[in-house]
């Protein structure tokens, strides 16, 4: 029997594990039941030479450069185009997800849709990340690497899509249902999106950016859910990640004043349990420390003279829209 394939009838806790390790089942594979485990990652895909590429595309090394926090009207216009594209591909990818496919199937779809539009999938080879989209399943908080893992009925999956086109990035993500999902996961997903919108509503010129985290944390606590702290929103434009830091929880030290022309993401990760995380050995995949599910939504934003413009709002999933994919 393959050590990767459990039997149809599982042993009792004190019996030898089915994998042949010699350990008791309760000390070996039983704790892993229902958990997301690493799969096989296929080779990195290529991008045609005709498509404009970010500086890290060939080497995987991201140059240390600075970018103005307040963007010029010309850069903002280019960002609108990139953000529209990312939002469109994200919606198509969500519609594409079905039980029985692998997360690598999703990566192939997103890669091809991005190339088809003459853009570069920003995650590809960013700090050596090997794929064109992040697929974060169930307890995976973020940065899940597409691989041979099968997506099953009842799962929830976050897809994080970023396009690089005309020299700028557009970044967005959403959590989708796979088939029939339990009520607790539905509530988690709804609250995660509500938290994002609460954060977006707090984007006001002249106010400290800590208002965003306060709004998100307040709403999550109302529903007794956790806010992941290790991963935050970021400045974006010609750089995939620039120096604006957007915490999703309140910290008075996160006091940069929001000004018209700034562009950044708000992307809270909300959990059913703890806010603490663990990292897989791949140095990318982050999972909740208690193994409970997490959901995330993200938009790229522009601070305006009077409030905020959601640059990735085109075709966005909303609280009233059906998430079920089956």
CB atoms within 10 A of CB 44: 14
104 and 236, same domain (yes or no): yes
- Give the domain extent around 214: 54-59+73-310
E strand map for 269-316:
269-271, 277-279, 286-288, 294-296, 299-303, 308-310
- Answer yes or no: is pLDDT of 8 > 80: no
Q: What is the pLDDT of residues 224-283, one digit of tens each?
A: 999 999 999 999 999 999 999 999 999 999 999 999 999 999 999 999 999 999 999 999
Q: DSSP class of residue 56? A: T
Q: Do 14 and 159 share a structural domain?
A: no
The Cα 75–Cα 238 span in angstroms is 8
In a domain, 116, yes or no: yes
pLDDT in tens, 41-65: 999 999 999 999 999 999 999 999 9
In a domain, 320, yes or no: no
Q: What is the pLDDT of residue 6?
A: 53
Determine, yes or no, domain membership for 326: no
**Residues 118 and 264 both lie in one domain:** yes
- pLDDT digit string, tens, across residues 154-203: 999 999 999 999 999 999 999 999 999 999 999 999 999 999 999 999 99
In a domain? residue 315: no
The number of domains in the chain is: 2
Quick check: is 48 in a domain?
no
My answer on whether 100 and 189 are in the same domain is yes
Strand order in the sheet with 286-288: 140-142, 286-288, 277-279
Claim to verify: residue 152 and residue 19 sit in the same structural domain:
no
Q: Per-residue pLDDT averaged across 102-109, rounded?
A: 98
Q: Is residue 18 part of a domain?
A: yes
């Amino acid at each position: 029997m393959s050590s990767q394939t459990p039997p149809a009838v599982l042993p009792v806790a004190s019996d030898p594990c089915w994998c042949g390790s010699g350990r008791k089942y309760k000390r070996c594979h039983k704790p892993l039941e229902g958990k997301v485990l690493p799969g096989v990652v296929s080779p990195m895909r290529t991008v045609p030479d005709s498509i404009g590429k970010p500086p890290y595309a060939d080497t995987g090394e991201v140059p240390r450069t600075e970018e103005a926090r307040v963007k010029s009207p010309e850069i903002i216009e280019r960002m609108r185009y990139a953000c529209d594209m990312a939002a469109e591909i994200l919606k198509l990818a969500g519609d594409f997800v079905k039980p029985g496919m692998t997360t690598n199937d999703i990566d192939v779809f997103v890669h091809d849709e991005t190339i088809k539009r003459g853009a570069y999938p920003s995650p590809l080879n960013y700090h050596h990340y090997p794929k064109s989209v992040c697929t974060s399943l169930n307890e995976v908080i973020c940065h899940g690497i597409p691989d041979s893992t099968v997506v099953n009925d009842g799962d929830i999956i976050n897809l994080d899509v970023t396009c690089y086109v005309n020299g700028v990035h557009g970044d967005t993500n959403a959590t989708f249902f796979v088939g029939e999902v339990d009520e607790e996961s539905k509530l988690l997903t709804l609250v995660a999106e509500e938290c994002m919108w609460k954060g977006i509503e707090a984007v006001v010129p002249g106010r400290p950016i800590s208002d965003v985290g306060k709004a998100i944390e307040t709403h999550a606590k109302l529903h007794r859910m956790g806010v992941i702290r290790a991963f935050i929103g970021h400045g974006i434009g010609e750089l995939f990640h620039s120096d604006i830091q957007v915490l999703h929880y309140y910290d008075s030290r996160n006091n940069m004043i929001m000004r018209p022309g700034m562009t950044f993401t708000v992307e809270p990760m909300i959990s059913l349990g703890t806010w603490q995380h663990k990292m897989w050995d791949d140095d990318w995949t982050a999972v909740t420390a208690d193994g409970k599910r997490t959901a995330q939504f993200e938009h790229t934003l522009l601070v305006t003279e009077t409030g905020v413009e959601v640059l990735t709002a085109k075709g966005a999933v909303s609280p009233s829209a059906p998430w079920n994919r089956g």
